[in-house]
Chains A and B, each alone.
Chain A
Amino acid sequence: MKSLKIAVCLKSVPDPKQWHKVTINPQTKTIQKEGIPRIISPLDRHALEAAVRLKEAHGGSVIVVCMGSPGARENIQEALALGADEAVFLSDRAFGGADSLATARALAAALKKLGLPGLIFCGAVSYYGSTGQVGPQIAQFLGINHFSAVRFLDYKGGKLYAEIVTDGGFALCEGKLPLLVTVRREINKPRGLRLSEAIKARKKKIWTWSSADLGLSSDQLGLKGSGIQMFDFLPLPEAQGAEILEGGPQEIAKEIAQKIKKYRQGGIL
Protein backbone atom coordinates (compact mmCIF):
# COMPACT_ATOMS: atom_id res chain seq x y z
CA MET A 1 0.00 0.00 0.00
CA LYS A 2 1.15 3.48 -0.85
CA SER A 3 2.21 5.46 2.21
CA LEU A 4 -0.36 7.87 3.50
CA LYS A 5 0.23 11.53 2.81
CA ILE A 6 -1.56 13.69 5.37
CA ALA A 7 -1.84 17.48 5.40
CA VAL A 8 -2.98 19.77 8.19
CA CYS A 9 -4.16 23.32 7.57
CA LEU A 10 -3.11 25.55 10.44
CA LYS A 11 -4.20 29.04 11.32
CA SER A 12 -2.26 31.36 13.55
CA VAL A 13 -4.63 33.50 15.64
CA PRO A 14 -4.31 36.16 18.33
CA ASP A 15 -4.33 34.57 21.78
CA PRO A 16 -8.00 34.44 22.86
CA LYS A 17 -6.99 35.63 26.32
CA GLN A 18 -6.01 38.95 24.76
CA TRP A 19 -8.84 39.47 22.30
CA HIS A 20 -9.90 42.61 24.08
CA LYS A 21 -6.76 44.18 22.61
CA VAL A 22 -7.97 43.57 19.07
CA THR A 23 -9.58 46.79 17.86
CA ILE A 24 -10.92 48.37 14.72
CA ASN A 25 -9.95 51.69 13.24
CA PRO A 26 -13.38 53.14 12.41
CA GLN A 27 -11.89 55.41 9.72
CA THR A 28 -9.84 52.92 7.75
CA LYS A 29 -11.99 49.90 8.78
CA THR A 30 -8.81 47.95 9.41
CA ILE A 31 -8.44 45.56 12.29
CA GLN A 32 -5.45 46.11 14.57
CA LYS A 33 -4.00 43.03 16.14
CA GLU A 34 -0.30 43.87 16.17
CA GLY A 35 1.65 43.05 19.29
CA ILE A 36 -0.75 40.36 20.48
CA PRO A 37 0.86 36.94 21.01
CA ARG A 38 -0.26 34.40 18.43
CA ILE A 39 -1.20 30.79 19.00
CA ILE A 40 -2.18 27.85 16.82
CA SER A 41 -5.96 28.11 16.53
CA PRO A 42 -7.01 25.61 19.24
CA LEU A 43 -9.08 23.27 17.06
CA ASP A 44 -6.25 23.17 14.54
CA ARG A 45 -4.11 21.67 17.29
CA HIS A 46 -6.65 18.88 17.54
CA ALA A 47 -6.46 18.51 13.75
CA LEU A 48 -2.68 18.24 13.96
CA GLU A 49 -2.92 15.69 16.76
CA ALA A 50 -5.39 13.58 14.73
CA ALA A 51 -3.00 13.64 11.76
CA VAL A 52 0.08 12.75 13.83
CA ARG A 53 -1.73 9.87 15.55
CA LEU A 54 -2.86 8.51 12.21
CA LYS A 55 0.73 8.65 10.97
CA GLU A 56 1.98 6.94 14.13
CA ALA A 57 -0.54 4.13 13.67
CA HIS A 58 -0.38 3.64 9.90
CA GLY A 59 2.86 5.23 8.71
CA GLY A 60 3.11 8.05 6.21
CA SER A 61 3.94 11.71 6.60
CA VAL A 62 2.32 14.87 7.94
CA ILE A 63 2.81 18.21 6.27
CA VAL A 64 1.51 21.46 7.72
CA VAL A 65 0.19 24.21 5.47
CA CYS A 66 -0.22 27.62 7.04
CA MET A 67 -1.06 30.99 5.53
CA GLY A 68 -0.27 33.96 7.69
CA SER A 69 1.78 36.98 8.60
CA PRO A 70 5.51 36.52 9.43
CA GLY A 71 4.64 35.99 13.11
CA ALA A 72 2.98 32.69 12.22
CA ARG A 73 6.38 31.09 11.67
CA GLU A 74 6.66 30.46 15.40
CA ASN A 75 3.37 28.57 15.37
CA ILE A 76 4.60 26.48 12.44
CA GLN A 77 7.76 25.70 14.39
CA GLU A 78 5.56 24.57 17.26
CA ALA A 79 3.54 22.31 14.94
CA LEU A 80 6.78 20.68 13.78
CA ALA A 81 7.71 20.07 17.41
CA LEU A 82 4.28 18.51 17.93
CA GLY A 83 4.87 15.84 15.31
CA ALA A 84 4.53 17.29 11.81
CA ASP A 85 7.35 16.33 9.42
CA GLU A 86 7.56 19.44 7.30
CA ALA A 87 5.64 22.61 6.59
CA VAL A 88 4.65 25.01 3.86
CA PHE A 89 4.34 28.62 4.90
CA LEU A 90 2.26 30.79 2.58
CA SER A 91 3.74 34.17 3.30
CA ASP A 92 3.19 37.08 0.97
CA ARG A 93 1.55 40.47 1.29
CA ALA A 94 -0.75 39.41 -1.55
CA PHE A 95 -2.43 36.95 0.84
CA GLY A 96 -3.33 39.69 3.36
CA GLY A 97 -6.92 40.55 4.19
CA ALA A 98 -8.28 37.27 2.79
CA ASP A 99 -11.79 36.11 3.70
CA SER A 100 -12.64 32.42 3.84
CA LEU A 101 -13.01 32.14 0.05
CA ALA A 102 -9.61 33.66 -0.75
CA THR A 103 -8.01 31.70 2.11
CA ALA A 104 -9.45 28.41 0.90
CA ARG A 105 -8.40 29.16 -2.67
CA ALA A 106 -4.78 29.75 -1.63
CA LEU A 107 -4.62 26.74 0.69
CA ALA A 108 -6.17 24.51 -1.98
CA ALA A 109 -3.61 25.69 -4.54
CA ALA A 110 -0.80 24.82 -2.10
CA LEU A 111 -2.29 21.40 -1.40
CA LYS A 112 -2.60 20.73 -5.11
CA LYS A 113 1.03 21.71 -5.62
CA LEU A 114 1.95 19.17 -2.94
CA GLY A 115 0.35 16.47 -5.08
CA LEU A 116 -3.00 16.28 -3.29
CA PRO A 117 -2.60 14.50 0.06
CA GLY A 118 -4.95 11.57 0.71
CA LEU A 119 -6.19 13.13 3.91
CA ILE A 120 -6.46 16.78 4.82
CA PHE A 121 -7.27 17.90 8.35
CA CYS A 122 -8.62 21.27 9.49
CA GLY A 123 -10.16 22.54 12.71
CA ALA A 124 -13.97 22.69 12.47
CA VAL A 125 -13.81 26.43 13.15
CA SER A 126 -10.94 28.80 13.67
CA TYR A 127 -10.86 31.06 16.65
CA TYR A 128 -11.56 34.67 15.99
CA GLY A 129 -13.29 34.40 12.62
CA SER A 130 -15.07 31.23 13.67
CA THR A 131 -17.00 30.90 10.42
CA GLY A 132 -16.14 27.21 9.88
CA GLN A 133 -16.13 27.91 6.15
CA VAL A 134 -12.54 27.32 5.10
CA GLY A 135 -12.48 23.51 5.43
CA PRO A 136 -15.52 22.76 3.25
CA GLN A 137 -14.35 25.42 0.78
CA ILE A 138 -10.87 23.93 0.38
CA ALA A 139 -12.56 20.60 -0.41
CA GLN A 140 -14.61 22.24 -3.17
CA PHE A 141 -11.56 23.92 -4.73
CA LEU A 142 -9.84 20.53 -4.74
CA GLY A 143 -12.93 18.71 -6.01
CA ILE A 144 -12.87 16.20 -3.14
CA ASN A 145 -15.39 15.14 -0.50
CA HIS A 146 -15.28 16.25 3.10
CA PHE A 147 -16.73 15.51 6.53
CA SER A 148 -17.40 18.52 8.78
CA ALA A 149 -17.43 18.50 12.60
CA VAL A 150 -15.82 15.11 13.21
CA ARG A 151 -15.62 13.92 16.80
CA PHE A 152 -14.25 10.40 16.28
CA LEU A 153 -12.06 8.94 13.58
CA ASP A 154 -10.85 5.55 12.44
CA TYR A 155 -8.89 4.51 9.39
CA LYS A 156 -8.94 0.93 8.20
CA GLY A 157 -8.83 -0.96 4.97
CA GLY A 158 -8.04 2.24 3.09
CA LYS A 159 -11.30 3.82 4.23
CA LEU A 160 -11.98 6.54 6.72
CA TYR A 161 -14.73 6.18 9.31
CA ALA A 162 -15.81 9.43 10.89
CA GLU A 163 -18.44 10.20 13.45
CA ILE A 164 -19.80 13.63 12.66
CA VAL A 165 -21.98 15.94 14.71
CA THR A 166 -25.19 16.74 12.84
CA ASP A 167 -28.28 18.82 13.53
CA GLY A 168 -30.22 15.78 14.65
CA GLY A 169 -27.55 13.91 16.59
CA PHE A 170 -24.57 12.28 15.01
CA ALA A 171 -23.78 10.12 12.01
CA LEU A 172 -21.13 7.50 11.47
CA CYS A 173 -19.86 8.06 7.94
CA GLU A 174 -17.57 6.10 5.71
CA GLY A 175 -15.51 7.64 2.96
CA LYS A 176 -12.96 6.80 0.31
CA LEU A 177 -9.79 8.87 0.10
CA PRO A 178 -9.00 11.60 -0.81
CA LEU A 179 -10.99 13.30 1.91
CA LEU A 180 -10.91 16.49 3.91
CA VAL A 181 -11.97 16.32 7.54
CA THR A 182 -12.72 19.15 9.97
CA VAL A 183 -12.39 18.15 13.59
CA ARG A 184 -14.08 19.09 16.83
CA ARG A 185 -12.43 19.31 20.21
CA GLU A 186 -13.76 15.93 21.43
CA ILE A 187 -11.71 14.03 18.86
CA ASN A 188 -8.56 13.87 20.99
CA LYS A 189 -6.43 15.47 23.65
CA PRO A 190 -3.46 17.15 21.96
CA ARG A 191 -0.05 16.27 23.34
CA GLY A 192 2.04 18.82 25.15
CA LEU A 193 5.21 20.33 23.79
CA ARG A 194 8.44 18.48 24.71
CA LEU A 195 11.78 20.19 24.69
CA SER A 196 13.53 17.25 22.97
CA GLU A 197 10.99 17.34 20.15
CA ALA A 198 11.29 21.11 19.87
CA ILE A 199 15.08 20.77 19.41
CA LYS A 200 14.66 18.03 16.77
CA ALA A 201 12.04 20.14 15.00
CA ARG A 202 14.59 22.86 14.28
CA LYS A 203 16.06 20.58 11.61
CA LYS A 204 12.71 20.08 9.90
CA LYS A 205 12.06 21.96 6.70
CA ILE A 206 9.72 24.93 6.31
CA TRP A 207 9.11 25.84 2.66
CA THR A 208 8.05 29.44 2.15
CA TRP A 209 5.81 30.01 -0.84
CA SER A 210 4.56 33.26 -2.33
CA SER A 211 1.54 33.88 -4.54
CA ALA A 212 3.77 33.32 -7.59
CA ASP A 213 4.60 29.81 -6.33
CA LEU A 214 0.89 29.01 -6.30
CA GLY A 215 0.30 30.23 -9.83
CA LEU A 216 -2.54 32.45 -8.68
CA SER A 217 -2.96 36.08 -9.70
CA SER A 218 -3.25 38.82 -7.10
CA ASP A 219 -6.95 39.39 -7.86
CA GLN A 220 -7.69 35.82 -6.72
CA LEU A 221 -5.97 36.32 -3.39
CA GLY A 222 -6.11 38.39 -0.24
CA LEU A 223 -8.50 41.29 0.07
CA LYS A 224 -8.93 41.57 -3.72
CA GLY A 225 -9.81 37.91 -4.10
CA SER A 226 -12.25 37.94 -1.20
CA GLY A 227 -15.94 37.36 -1.66
CA ILE A 228 -17.03 39.71 1.09
CA GLN A 229 -15.99 43.23 1.88
CA MET A 230 -16.52 45.35 4.96
CA PHE A 231 -17.54 48.79 3.75
CA ASP A 232 -18.85 50.41 6.87
CA PHE A 233 -18.61 50.25 10.62
CA LEU A 234 -21.45 51.44 12.84
CA PRO A 235 -20.42 51.92 16.47
CA LEU A 236 -23.14 51.24 19.02
CA PRO A 237 -24.09 54.06 21.35
CA GLU A 238 -22.23 53.78 24.65
CA ALA A 239 -24.25 51.56 26.99
CA GLN A 240 -25.73 53.18 30.06
CA GLY A 241 -23.70 51.21 32.56
CA ALA A 242 -24.56 49.14 35.59
CA GLU A 243 -25.57 50.40 39.00
CA ILE A 244 -22.78 49.07 41.22
CA LEU A 245 -23.97 47.44 44.43
CA GLU A 246 -21.90 48.44 47.46
CA GLY A 247 -21.29 46.77 50.78
CA GLY A 248 -19.80 43.61 52.26
CA PRO A 249 -20.22 40.25 50.51
CA GLN A 250 -23.09 39.21 52.81
CA GLU A 251 -24.97 42.44 52.25
CA ILE A 252 -24.47 42.32 48.50
CA ALA A 253 -25.54 38.67 48.32
CA LYS A 254 -28.69 39.62 50.20
CA GLU A 255 -29.37 42.51 47.87
CA ILE A 256 -28.98 40.33 44.77
CA ALA A 257 -31.23 37.65 46.26
CA GLN A 258 -33.84 40.31 47.00
CA LYS A 259 -33.66 41.75 43.51
CA ILE A 260 -34.15 38.31 41.98
CA LYS A 261 -37.01 37.56 44.36
CA LYS A 262 -38.70 40.88 43.68
CA TYR A 263 -38.30 40.35 39.96
CA ARG A 264 -39.83 36.89 40.19
CA GLN A 265 -42.71 38.20 42.25
CA GLY A 266 -43.40 40.74 39.53
CA GLY A 267 -44.81 37.74 37.74
CA ILE A 268 -42.41 37.95 34.87
CA LEU A 269 -40.58 34.77 35.74
Chain B
Amino acid sequence: MSVENGLWVFAQAVEGKLLPVSLELLGEGRRLADRLDVGLSAILIGHNLQPLALELIACGADNVLVADHAKLYHYRGELYIPLVEKMILRYRPEIFLFGATQGGKDLAAATAARIGAGLTAHCVAFEIDEHKVLKQLVPAFGGHCVFRSQGNPQMATVAPGVFTIPEPDYERQGKIIEIDFSPPAEPATKIVEFKTEKGSAGGLEEAEVIVAGGAGVGNAENWQLIEKLAHALNAAVGATRPPVDEGWVEEEKMIGQSGRNVRPKLYLAVGISGDQLHLSGVQNPELFIAINKDPKANIFKHAHFGVVEDLTKILPPLIELLSPGGDN
Protein backbone atom coordinates (compact mmCIF):
# COMPACT_ATOMS: atom_id res chain seq x y z
CA MET B 1 0.00 0.00 0.00
CA SER B 2 1.29 3.40 -0.97
CA VAL B 3 2.60 6.08 1.34
CA GLU B 4 0.91 8.71 -0.85
CA ASN B 5 -2.58 9.83 0.10
CA GLY B 6 -2.63 7.43 3.01
CA LEU B 7 -3.23 7.48 6.71
CA TRP B 8 -0.25 8.53 8.82
CA VAL B 9 0.60 8.04 12.45
CA PHE B 10 3.38 9.91 14.24
CA ALA B 11 5.50 7.24 15.95
CA GLN B 12 7.41 8.85 18.78
CA ALA B 13 10.69 7.40 20.00
CA VAL B 14 11.87 8.37 23.48
CA GLU B 15 15.16 7.04 24.81
CA GLY B 16 15.27 4.37 22.12
CA LYS B 17 11.73 3.10 22.70
CA LEU B 18 8.40 3.74 21.04
CA LEU B 19 5.85 5.42 23.26
CA PRO B 20 2.86 3.09 23.77
CA VAL B 21 0.43 5.66 22.35
CA SER B 22 2.17 5.38 18.97
CA LEU B 23 1.34 1.68 18.81
CA GLU B 24 -2.19 2.30 20.10
CA LEU B 25 -2.71 4.71 17.20
CA LEU B 26 -1.39 2.14 14.72
CA GLY B 27 -4.11 -0.27 15.83
CA GLU B 28 -6.85 2.29 15.26
CA GLY B 29 -5.05 3.61 12.17
CA ARG B 30 -5.07 0.11 10.64
CA ARG B 31 -8.83 -0.15 11.12
CA LEU B 32 -9.44 3.26 9.51
CA ALA B 33 -6.97 2.68 6.66
CA ASP B 34 -8.66 -0.62 5.79
CA ARG B 35 -12.02 1.10 5.84
CA LEU B 36 -10.69 3.74 3.43
CA ASP B 37 -8.65 1.21 1.46
CA VAL B 38 -5.46 3.26 1.79
CA GLY B 39 -1.98 2.56 3.13
CA LEU B 40 -0.99 3.06 6.76
CA SER B 41 2.34 4.78 7.31
CA ALA B 42 4.25 5.55 10.49
CA ILE B 43 6.47 8.63 10.71
CA LEU B 44 9.52 7.76 12.77
CA ILE B 45 12.10 10.39 13.71
CA GLY B 46 15.13 9.85 15.94
CA HIS B 47 18.35 7.91 15.93
CA ASN B 48 19.18 4.19 15.55
CA LEU B 49 15.63 3.45 14.54
CA GLN B 50 15.85 0.13 12.66
CA PRO B 51 14.37 -2.09 15.43
CA LEU B 52 11.61 0.42 16.06
CA ALA B 53 10.69 0.51 12.38
CA LEU B 54 10.30 -3.28 12.41
CA GLU B 55 8.10 -3.04 15.51
CA LEU B 56 5.87 -0.52 13.73
CA ILE B 57 5.47 -2.83 10.75
CA ALA B 58 4.65 -5.72 13.10
CA CYS B 59 1.95 -3.55 14.66
CA GLY B 60 0.27 -2.74 11.37
CA ALA B 61 2.25 -0.14 9.39
CA ASP B 62 2.55 -0.70 5.63
CA ASN B 63 5.31 1.89 5.41
CA VAL B 64 7.63 3.55 7.85
CA LEU B 65 9.10 6.91 6.91
CA VAL B 66 12.35 7.11 8.79
CA ALA B 67 14.46 10.19 9.47
CA ASP B 68 17.50 8.93 11.36
CA HIS B 69 20.15 11.33 12.66
CA ALA B 70 22.03 11.78 15.93
CA LYS B 71 20.69 15.35 16.19
CA LEU B 72 17.14 14.01 16.07
CA TYR B 73 17.51 11.75 19.10
CA HIS B 74 15.52 14.13 21.33
CA TYR B 75 12.40 15.96 20.22
CA ARG B 76 13.31 19.45 19.07
CA GLY B 77 10.72 21.64 17.39
CA GLU B 78 13.22 23.56 15.30
CA LEU B 79 14.34 20.34 13.59
CA TYR B 80 11.22 18.15 13.70
CA ILE B 81 8.59 20.65 12.53
CA PRO B 82 10.10 21.56 9.12
CA LEU B 83 11.00 17.92 8.57
CA VAL B 84 7.43 16.71 9.06
CA GLU B 85 6.11 19.59 6.97
CA LYS B 86 8.43 18.49 4.17
CA MET B 87 7.17 14.90 4.37
CA ILE B 88 3.53 16.06 4.22
CA LEU B 89 4.12 18.28 1.21
CA ARG B 90 5.92 15.46 -0.57
CA TYR B 91 3.54 12.56 0.10
CA ARG B 92 0.22 14.32 0.78
CA PRO B 93 -1.37 12.11 3.45
CA GLU B 94 -5.18 12.19 3.85
CA ILE B 95 -5.21 11.74 7.62
CA PHE B 96 -2.48 12.29 10.22
CA LEU B 97 -2.88 11.13 13.84
CA PHE B 98 -0.66 12.13 16.78
CA GLY B 99 -0.46 10.96 20.38
CA ALA B 100 -1.23 13.75 22.84
CA THR B 101 2.22 13.64 24.42
CA GLN B 102 4.41 16.70 25.01
CA GLY B 103 6.22 16.15 21.73
CA GLY B 104 3.19 14.89 19.82
CA LYS B 105 0.99 17.84 20.75
CA ASP B 106 3.68 20.38 19.96
CA LEU B 107 4.56 18.82 16.62
CA ALA B 108 0.92 18.40 15.58
CA ALA B 109 -0.01 21.99 16.46
CA ALA B 110 2.99 23.57 14.78
CA THR B 111 2.73 21.43 11.65
CA ALA B 112 -1.00 22.12 11.34
CA ALA B 113 -0.34 25.87 11.46
CA ARG B 114 2.40 25.62 8.82
CA ILE B 115 0.18 23.86 6.32
CA GLY B 116 -3.01 25.66 7.39
CA ALA B 117 -4.83 22.47 8.40
CA GLY B 118 -7.32 22.00 11.21
CA LEU B 119 -6.33 19.97 14.24
CA THR B 120 -8.81 18.36 16.62
CA ALA B 121 -7.60 17.64 20.15
CA HIS B 122 -8.88 15.16 22.75
CA CYS B 123 -10.36 12.67 20.25
CA VAL B 124 -11.65 9.41 21.75
CA ALA B 125 -13.18 7.77 18.68
CA PHE B 126 -13.10 8.03 14.90
CA GLU B 127 -15.54 7.10 12.19
CA ILE B 128 -15.32 7.32 8.42
CA ASP B 129 -18.45 8.76 6.85
CA GLU B 130 -19.92 7.98 3.42
CA HIS B 131 -17.84 10.73 1.83
CA LYS B 132 -14.68 9.18 3.30
CA VAL B 133 -14.35 12.08 5.71
CA LEU B 134 -12.92 11.41 9.15
CA LYS B 135 -15.45 12.09 11.92
CA GLN B 136 -13.63 12.93 15.15
CA LEU B 137 -15.46 12.42 18.44
CA VAL B 138 -14.55 14.55 21.43
CA PRO B 139 -16.29 14.10 24.79
CA ALA B 140 -18.04 17.21 26.14
CA PHE B 141 -21.35 18.40 27.57
CA GLY B 142 -22.55 14.92 28.49
CA GLY B 143 -22.06 13.52 25.00
CA HIS B 144 -19.71 13.67 22.07
CA CYS B 145 -19.02 16.65 19.87
CA VAL B 146 -18.34 15.46 16.34
CA PHE B 147 -15.71 17.44 14.48
CA ARG B 148 -14.20 17.36 11.06
CA SER B 149 -10.98 19.11 10.24
CA GLN B 150 -10.52 21.11 7.08
CA GLY B 151 -7.46 21.04 4.92
CA ASN B 152 -5.07 18.28 4.02
CA PRO B 153 -4.34 16.17 5.92
CA GLN B 154 -7.17 15.85 8.44
CA MET B 155 -5.30 16.01 11.73
CA ALA B 156 -6.13 14.89 15.24
CA THR B 157 -4.49 14.15 18.59
CA VAL B 158 -5.45 11.27 20.87
CA ALA B 159 -4.51 10.84 24.53
CA PRO B 160 -2.50 7.80 25.64
CA GLY B 161 -4.74 4.95 26.77
CA VAL B 162 -7.74 5.65 24.54
CA PHE B 163 -6.99 2.79 22.12
CA THR B 164 -5.28 -0.52 22.82
CA ILE B 165 -1.97 -1.78 21.44
CA PRO B 166 -2.44 -4.34 18.65
CA GLU B 167 -0.84 -7.78 18.88
CA PRO B 168 2.48 -7.55 16.97
CA ASP B 169 3.00 -9.90 14.03
CA TYR B 170 6.67 -10.01 13.04
CA GLU B 171 5.78 -11.92 9.84
CA ARG B 172 4.07 -8.82 8.46
CA GLN B 173 5.83 -7.16 5.54
CA GLY B 174 6.28 -3.44 5.19
CA LYS B 175 8.45 -0.90 3.49
CA ILE B 176 11.02 1.35 5.15
CA ILE B 177 11.49 4.66 3.37
CA GLU B 178 14.42 6.79 4.38
CA ILE B 179 13.93 10.54 4.50
CA ASP B 180 16.94 12.82 4.07
CA PHE B 181 17.76 15.13 6.91
CA SER B 182 20.56 17.57 7.32
CA PRO B 183 20.63 19.76 10.43
CA PRO B 184 20.67 23.53 9.98
CA ALA B 185 24.17 25.01 10.01
CA GLU B 186 23.28 27.61 12.62
CA PRO B 187 20.30 26.52 14.67
CA ALA B 188 18.69 29.16 16.90
CA THR B 189 17.93 26.65 19.64
CA LYS B 190 19.82 23.80 21.22
CA ILE B 191 19.48 21.32 24.05
CA VAL B 192 22.17 21.98 26.65
CA GLU B 193 21.32 19.15 28.95
CA PHE B 194 18.84 16.31 29.02
CA LYS B 195 17.69 14.55 32.14
CA THR B 196 15.61 11.43 32.23
CA GLU B 197 13.01 11.62 34.92
CA LYS B 198 10.07 9.42 35.63
CA GLY B 199 6.93 11.45 36.08
CA SER B 200 5.52 11.87 39.56
CA ALA B 201 2.16 10.43 38.57
CA GLY B 202 2.78 7.56 40.98
CA GLY B 203 1.83 4.84 38.49
CA LEU B 204 -1.63 6.37 38.00
CA GLU B 205 -2.07 5.09 34.45
CA GLU B 206 -1.35 1.49 35.45
CA ALA B 207 -3.13 1.60 38.84
CA GLU B 208 -5.91 -0.92 39.48
CA VAL B 209 -7.19 1.01 42.47
CA ILE B 210 -7.45 4.80 42.51
CA VAL B 211 -8.70 7.14 45.20
CA ALA B 212 -9.40 10.52 43.64
CA GLY B 213 -10.40 13.80 45.23
CA GLY B 214 -12.05 16.92 43.88
CA ALA B 215 -12.97 20.46 44.92
CA GLY B 216 -15.33 19.08 47.56
CA VAL B 217 -12.38 17.86 49.61
CA GLY B 218 -12.26 21.48 50.72
CA ASN B 219 -8.75 22.07 52.04
CA ALA B 220 -5.21 20.75 52.28
CA GLU B 221 -5.88 19.21 55.68
CA ASN B 222 -8.79 17.14 54.36
CA TRP B 223 -6.64 16.16 51.41
CA GLN B 224 -4.52 14.17 53.85
CA LEU B 225 -7.57 11.93 54.30
CA ILE B 226 -7.47 11.15 50.57
CA GLU B 227 -3.78 10.27 50.85
CA LYS B 228 -4.41 8.12 53.93
CA LEU B 229 -7.30 6.28 52.33
CA ALA B 230 -5.19 5.60 49.25
CA HIS B 231 -2.41 4.33 51.48
CA ALA B 232 -4.80 2.02 53.34
CA LEU B 233 -6.05 0.62 50.03
CA ASN B 234 -2.60 0.48 48.47
CA ALA B 235 -4.09 2.68 45.78
CA ALA B 236 -2.81 5.49 43.59
CA VAL B 237 -3.98 9.06 44.30
CA GLY B 238 -5.79 10.99 41.58
CA ALA B 239 -7.40 14.40 41.40
CA THR B 240 -9.60 16.69 39.37
CA ARG B 241 -8.42 20.15 38.41
CA PRO B 242 -9.39 22.23 41.48
CA PRO B 243 -7.14 20.36 43.99
CA VAL B 244 -4.25 20.87 41.55
CA ASP B 245 -5.05 24.58 41.25
CA GLU B 246 -5.27 24.83 45.04
CA GLY B 247 -1.86 23.21 45.35
CA TRP B 248 -3.04 20.23 47.42
CA VAL B 249 -1.60 17.78 44.90
CA GLU B 250 0.79 17.74 41.92
CA GLU B 251 -0.49 18.38 38.42
CA GLU B 252 0.76 14.94 37.31
CA LYS B 253 -2.05 13.37 39.34
CA MET B 254 -4.79 15.11 37.39
CA ILE B 255 -7.25 12.76 35.71
CA GLY B 256 -9.39 13.86 32.79
CA GLN B 257 -9.34 15.42 29.39
CA SER B 258 -6.40 17.70 30.09
CA GLY B 259 -4.78 15.26 32.51
CA ARG B 260 -4.33 11.52 32.46
CA ASN B 261 -6.43 8.69 31.15
CA VAL B 262 -6.85 5.92 33.71
CA ARG B 263 -8.32 2.41 33.69
CA PRO B 264 -8.72 1.42 37.33
CA LYS B 265 -10.77 -1.59 38.37
CA LEU B 266 -11.82 0.19 41.54
CA TYR B 267 -12.43 3.95 41.48
CA LEU B 268 -13.26 5.83 44.64
CA ALA B 269 -14.26 9.44 43.93
CA VAL B 270 -14.37 11.76 46.92
CA GLY B 271 -15.74 15.30 46.71
CA ILE B 272 -15.83 15.11 42.93
CA SER B 273 -18.80 16.72 41.19
CA GLY B 274 -18.43 14.49 38.13
CA ASP B 275 -17.82 16.92 35.29
CA GLN B 276 -17.41 15.06 32.01
CA LEU B 277 -14.01 16.69 31.47
CA HIS B 278 -12.90 14.58 34.42
CA LEU B 279 -14.99 11.46 33.86
CA SER B 280 -13.91 11.10 30.23
CA GLY B 281 -10.46 10.25 31.62
CA VAL B 282 -11.76 7.35 33.71
CA GLN B 283 -12.28 4.27 31.56
CA ASN B 284 -14.89 1.74 32.75
CA PRO B 285 -14.10 0.98 36.38
CA GLU B 286 -15.62 -2.31 37.55
CA LEU B 287 -16.44 -0.87 40.95
CA PHE B 288 -17.10 2.86 41.17
CA ILE B 289 -17.97 4.41 44.53
CA ALA B 290 -18.65 8.13 44.95
CA ILE B 291 -18.74 10.16 48.14
CA ASN B 292 -20.13 13.69 47.90
CA LYS B 293 -22.27 15.73 50.23
CA ASP B 294 -24.26 17.22 47.35
CA PRO B 295 -27.04 14.76 46.48
CA LYS B 296 -27.44 16.43 43.09
CA ALA B 297 -23.80 15.93 42.08
CA ASN B 298 -23.47 14.53 38.57
CA ILE B 299 -21.06 11.88 39.84
CA PHE B 300 -24.02 9.94 41.27
CA LYS B 301 -25.35 9.40 37.76
CA HIS B 302 -22.19 7.52 36.85
CA ALA B 303 -21.05 5.75 40.03
CA HIS B 304 -22.28 2.29 41.01
CA PHE B 305 -22.62 3.19 44.67
CA GLY B 306 -23.05 6.61 46.18
CA VAL B 307 -22.70 8.11 49.62
CA VAL B 308 -24.31 11.48 50.30
CA GLU B 309 -22.31 12.63 53.29
CA ASP B 310 -19.54 14.90 54.46
CA LEU B 311 -16.24 13.19 53.66
CA THR B 312 -14.76 14.09 57.04
CA LYS B 313 -17.39 11.86 58.64
CA ILE B 314 -16.97 8.89 56.30
CA LEU B 315 -13.26 8.76 55.55
CA PRO B 316 -11.80 8.45 59.08
CA PRO B 317 -13.79 5.30 59.97
CA LEU B 318 -13.27 3.95 56.45
CA ILE B 319 -9.50 4.44 56.69
CA GLU B 320 -9.50 2.66 60.02
CA LEU B 321 -11.52 -0.27 58.66
CA LEU B 322 -9.29 -0.66 55.62
CA SER B 323 -5.96 -0.24 57.41
CA PRO B 324 -4.01 -3.34 58.43
CA GLY B 325 -5.47 -4.52 61.71
CA GLY B 326 -8.75 -2.79 60.86
CA ASP B 327 -11.98 -4.73 60.67
CA ASN B 328 -11.36 -5.83 57.09
Q: Which residue of A lies closest to B156 (CB)?
A: A228
Query: Is there an interface contact between B148 and A172, defined as CB atoms closer than 8 Å?
Result: no
Is there an interface contact between B302 and A239, defined as CB atoms closer than 8 Å? yes
Total A residues in contact with B, Cβ cutoff 8 Å: 82
Is the CB–CB distance between A169 and B195 below 8 Å?
yes
What mask results when residues 285 to 328 of chain B are scored 1 for a CB within 8 Å of chain A, else 0? Answer: 01111100001001111111111110001100110011000111
Knowing A99-B118, A130-B258, A269-B265, the reply to whether A236 touches B143 (Cβ < 8 A) is: yes
Q: B185 on the interface (CB 8 Å rule)?
A: no
Determine the chain B residues whose CB is within 8 A of the CB of A242 once the complex forms.
288, 290, 299-306
A118 → B minimal CB distance (Å): 13
> A234-B143, A256-B305 are known contacts. Are A228 and B188 too (CB-CB below 8 A)?
no
Chain A interface mostly: mixed
* One of B58-66, B100-108, B164-172, B220-228 at the interface: B100-108
Query: Do A256 and B192 touch across chains, with their CB atoms under 8 A apart?
Result: no
* Among listed B37-45, B47-55, B70-78, interface-contacting one: B70-78
Assembled-state Cα–Cα distance A42/B302 (Å)? 29
Within the assembled complex, what's the spacing in Å between the Cα atoms of A165 and B195?
A: 10
**Contact of A100 (CB < 8 Å), options: B119, B273, B309:** B119
Complex Cα gap A137–B101 (Å): 16
A155: CB under 8 A from chain B?
no
Q: Which of B151, B245, B286, B317 contacts A253 (CB 8 A)?
A: B317
The number of inter-chain residue pairs (CB within 8 angstroms) is 261
With A145-B188, A166-B74, A234-B146 given, is the CB distance from A42 to B245 under 8 Å?
yes
**Beta-carbon contacts of B256-300 to A below 8 Å, as 1s and 0s?**
011000000110000001010100000000111110000100111
Which among A1-9, A81-89, A173-181, A203-211 touches the partner chain?
A: A173-181
The answer on a CB contact under 8 Å between B314 and A253 is yes
Q: Are A136 and B242 also in contact (CB < 8 A) when A166-B74, A169-B195, A234-B143 are?
A: no
Binds A, one of B2-10, B87-95, B134-142: B134-142
Assuming A99-B118, A145-B188, is B142 touching A236 (CB within 8 A)?
yes
Q: Is the CB of B121 within 8 A of A133?
A: yes
Q: Which 3 A-B pairs have the closest CB atoms?
A: A227-B118, A242-B306, A169-B197
**Chain A residues near B (Cβ < 8 Å):** 16-17, 19-20, 22-24, 26, 29, 31, 42, 99-101, 104, 125, 127, 129-137, 139-141, 145-149, 161, 165-176, 179, 184-185, 226-236, 238-245, 249-250, 252-254, 256-257, 259-261, 263, 268-269
